[in-house]
Amino acid sequence: NISYMFGFCSKLQQASLSVADTSSLKDIRNLFYYCSELRKVDFSGMNFSCVEASPVVFTECPVKEIVADGVVLSDKAVGIFKAFYNGKATVEAISLKGADTSDVTDMSHMFENSAALKSLDLSSFDLSKVNTMAYMFSGCSSLEFVYFGETKALDVTDMSYMFSGCSKLNAADLS
């Protein structure tokens, strides 16, 4: 359990969490709670495969950049990339190089309402088990480009509202 680990750390500007073994983490709710100076977080290499509930990791934190290279995600942990401060989305950049999504079946709402997010490279995502991507980018009004890389045969059955409200979207490459 690492919930509220950085609660009320008002002077914290960046955090790098490279914990040796995070494969049994179940509760990461409000990991960063009212960290009013937080701008960058590095989750690289963390294993979120046992997270039990879709968490709100950032509460009232103006995070601009999230680095999550090599993370292991589960259905319950796909929402960890959202951050809001005073009711406004703040995350502009997310790095997901080498992220392991091989056991993820539901990516719905993953980046929903991340209105400051400008582009995403999801080319390392394994989408072979994913069956729903509903609302995945809905409300990402600053999103201009999404790249999925070379996707193999998709069994996605629900893509409803996937890009709804993405008014600046120039390209979404799902080839």
Note the pLDDT tens digit of each residue in 102-144: 999 999 999 999 999 999 999 999 999 999 999 999 999 999 9
Instruction: State the pLDDT at residue 20.
Output: 64
| pLDDT interval class at 32 (50, 70, 90) | very high
pLDDT at 67 over 80: yes
Q: Global pTM? A: 0.91
Q: What percent of the chain has pLDDT above 70?
A: 96
Q: What is the band of 83 on the pLDDT scale with cuts at 50, 70, 90? A: confident
Q: What's the pLDDT score for residue 86?
A: 86
3-state secondary structure of 58: strand
pLDDT, mean over the chain: 91
What string of H, E and C letters represents the secondary structure of the chain? CCCCCEECCCCCCEEECCCCCCCCCCCCCCCEECCCCCCEEECCCCECCCCCCCCCCEECCCCCEEECCCCECCHHHHHHHCEEECCEECCCEEECCCCECCCCCECCCCCCCCCCCCEEECCCCCCCCCCECCCCCCCCCCCCEEECCCCCCCCCCECCCCCCCCCCCCEEECC
